[in-house]
Chains A and B, each alone.
Chain A
Amino acid sequence: MGGRCESGMVERDLHVDARADDAPWIREVTSTSASTEQARPRLSALLPIAAIRLRIPAMDWRAAVRASGEALVAAGITTPAYTDQMIATVEQLGPYIVIAPGIALAHARPSEAVLRPGLSWVTLAQPVRFGHKDNDPVTLIVGLAAPDSSSHVQGLATLAELLEDPTRRAALMAANTPRDVLGVITEYERRDVRGVGRG
């Protein structure tokens, strides 16, 4: 009887651990959303694990943006129409979405194709050129889907902070699994909460 009881406890513990590993953002959201300024979703809450894809082959910038849009669709953030809108934005407005060396922030105007605010993260097997004078070639496409509000701005700010930090950027780019990407992000968010200095 004692043995059965013990194994039951182990199973419960494993269950809790597995849930936390599969969805680290659940813990973050429930434990910190009330205390963050203006209760904006954190980066980890905006970037579902289903929206992270690593070392995707892409022939050119259109294929890269398309992969970024497909990751948004896969996570239930947008409909496929948004992917076409992101590509059309670059065709119309040029490669300004390449916001830093190697990094494109693919996005389009808020539209009914956006189901909820969110981000996707796609790294490429081979870099592609967008035609940007300074920041080509691109290895990371961050897909941004925003409704007509500011709900995503603080998450995007956190992402920019991470990508400006050479050590964390290197860790993100070296990640072998989507879980590793989220691990770097949630570790940084915990530091951010502890380190008072903003607000």
Chain B
Amino acid sequence: MKQLRVKVTNAVGLHARPAAVFVGEAGRFASQIRVRNATRNTPWVDAKSILSVLTLGVEPQHEIEIMADGPDDTRAAEALQQLIASDFAGKI
């Protein structure tokens, strides 16, 4: 199991297109991946569901936690952390 924390720094937080890109990246991995908004102290939700990720209400400067569990959990958590840390690397 791999758990990481990352601050969201893109202009609009994690909604609509950014959420879709985040969930698309999560879907590339076999591990179960969960995410929560630490700033708002939300429950953990499925990182592979856009609707679930939208419930987190992630705004710029919020910190999220990513927890992956499975065969590729370290790669999955680090890839999602990197995606956010790079402001979605030109994918939005």
Contact = CB atoms under 8 A, between A and B. Distances in A.
Interface in A141-160: 144, 146, 148-150, 152-154, 156-157, 159-160
B3 interface: no
B41 A160 contact: no
A163 B59 CA distance: 20
Interface string B22-49: 0010000000000000001110000001
Given A103-B51, A148-B12, A156 B57 contact: yes
Interface residues of A, number: 27
Contact of B59 (A96, A103, A150): A150
B87 to A, nearest CB: 14
Contacts of A97: 16, 20
Contacts of B57: 153-154, 156-157
Interface string A136-178: 0000000010101110111011011101100000000000000
Contacts, number: 63
A157 B54 contact: yes
B47 to A, nearest CB: 14
Contacts of B54: 99, 156-157, 159-160
Given A150-B13, A150-B59, 13 more contacts: A37-B40, A97-B16, A99-B50, A100-B51, A105-B16, A149-B12, A150-B12, A153-B59, A157-B56, A160-B54, A164-B51, A164-B55, A199-B40
30 contacts: A37-B40, A93-B17, A96-B17, A97-B16, A97-B20, A99-B19, A99-B51, A99-B54, A100-B49, A100-B50, A105-B16, A105-B50, A107-B16, A146-B15, A149-B12, A150-B12, A150-B59, A153-B12, A153-B13, A153-B57, A153-B58, A154-B57, A157-B54, A159-B54, A160-B52, A164-B51, A164-B55, A198-B41, A198-B42, A199-B40
